[in-house]
Amino acid sequence: MSIVVFGVNHRTGPLALLERVTIADHAIAKTIHGLMSRPNIREAVVLSTCNRTEVYAVAEKFHGAYGDLREFFCELGGFSADELAPHLYSQHDEAAIAHLFEVAAGLDSAVLGESEILGQVRDAWDRSQREGGSLSTLNLLFRHALEVGKRARSETSIGRHTSSVSHAAVDMARDGLGSVEGLTVLVVGAGDMGEGVTVALSGAGVGRVLVANRTIGRAQELADRVGGSVTEFYRLAETLIDADVVVTCTGAGGTVIDVEMVESAMRTRGDRPLFIVDIAVPRDVERTVADIPGVTLLNLDDLRDWAARGQALRAAEAEAVRSIVVEEVERFTVESTARQAAPLVAQLHSAAESVRASEIERMKRRLSSLDPEQRDAVEALTKGIVAKLLHDMSVRLKDDAGTPRGERNAAAVRDLFDLR
């Protein structure tokens, strides 16, 4: 069996393509069950964020899983295989393990070292566990990945300065406007990303924070936390009149703010410009809003370009994190292979015991003259001989687990003793 990852991310495809393969939260459970029904997939975790959609799987055979997962992504985005091929990446075994560890550590994010991805990895794993998609192998892998992410942030400065997409969105607004102090900011969406944006804004000196969300209770809770106010979702069009900055991050899956809403607001605003940062995938704001005079519209493609400017500042820290990832991949591989050796050793001893017991049974008639004490002595003697014969072999299998020689020895034992 192999651990595999297939995906499309911000490095391999533009925002327009990522929008086509984004999986809404309410569809994750169905997606996991669909993946588990495919013939070559034993376990599956789906990670779908604003920067990536990835499937981590345990596959019976890599090539079989490759066909299953390529077909899955083609169906998901309505692509032909040739259309998707330049954007789809795949890794297996150690390379797949390293990729997940890099993702959890923030090395594969648009904002290098951002902290939100660690929670997103945890949530993806939790959902898969609830749906029966993450079993023994992926449970161990994702638990280890979270440890790697925490270690990277505690032992290096990879997350220092702008450490999340939501903080980056606020910094983009500050960068574009010179300052956000005293401005009225509208946050549309009160999920994890919306919470991060709102908290970041509260520390940036803005004059007023307005929170809009379909669930009014969640919006109120978030607004209370930062001393902001709630605006009802259906009043978005008129709230745009008052806002200087709008940050949108809903999971609506389609347009929330359209051209007509913004044009109407701009007619009332006079000469006041409007700065909009759309960090939702799929996008919340209709693309042609960018063409309206007085409106600046930025999205995740712009965030990617903006984040690249600060990438060099954290390059040295990234190298330190990569060293941690290499070390942790080796540790995980050795530990997981050692766990695989234990069942093989147990199977070997069980097979030997079966032979020993069978031979004792075959000699039962000849041993019938022995008294109970003598029969116990024969049992102990034969068991001792089997244990001594298998001792060195068992120790070698465990000690060499995770090494090329260990793999060769394990294969030889399975072959010689007909263990499956």
Q: List residues with catalytic annotation.
A: 50
The H or E element that residue 3 is part of is strand 2-9
CB atoms under 10 Å from CB of 314, counted, come to 23
Residue 197 near residue 249 (C-beta atoms within 8 A): yes
| CA–CA distance, 178 with 315 (Å, rounded to integer) | 26
Find out whether 241 and 269 touch, Cβ atoms under 8 Å. Answer: yes
Q: Give the burial class of 267: count Cβ atoms within 10 A of its Cβ; 0-12 exposed, 13-18 middle, 19 or more buried.
A: exposed
* CA-based end-to-end distance of the chain: 14
If we measure between CA atoms, which residue out of 319, 339, 395 comes closest to residue 144? 339
Q: Could you count the other beta carbons within 10 Å of the beta carbon of residue 220? A: 16
Query: What is the rounded distance in angstroms from the CA atom of residue 87 to the CA atom of residue 84?
Result: 6
- DSSP E strand boundaries for 249-401: 274-278, 295-298
Taking a C-beta distance cutoff of 8 angstroms, is the pair 39, 68 a contact? yes
Dihedral Cα 196, 199, 205, 211, nearest 10 deg: 90
- HEC letters along 122-176: HHHHHHHHHCCCCCHHHHHHHHHHHHHHHHHHHHCCCCCCCCCHHHHHHHHHHHH
Q: Which residues, other chains included, contact 333 with Cβ-Cβ below 8 Å and sequence gap of 6+?
A: 94, 97, 402
Radius of gyration of the chain (CA): 29
Q: How far apart are CA 350 and CA 245, in angstroms?
A: 70
Q: Residue 309 and residue 316: Cα distance in Å, rounded?
A: 15
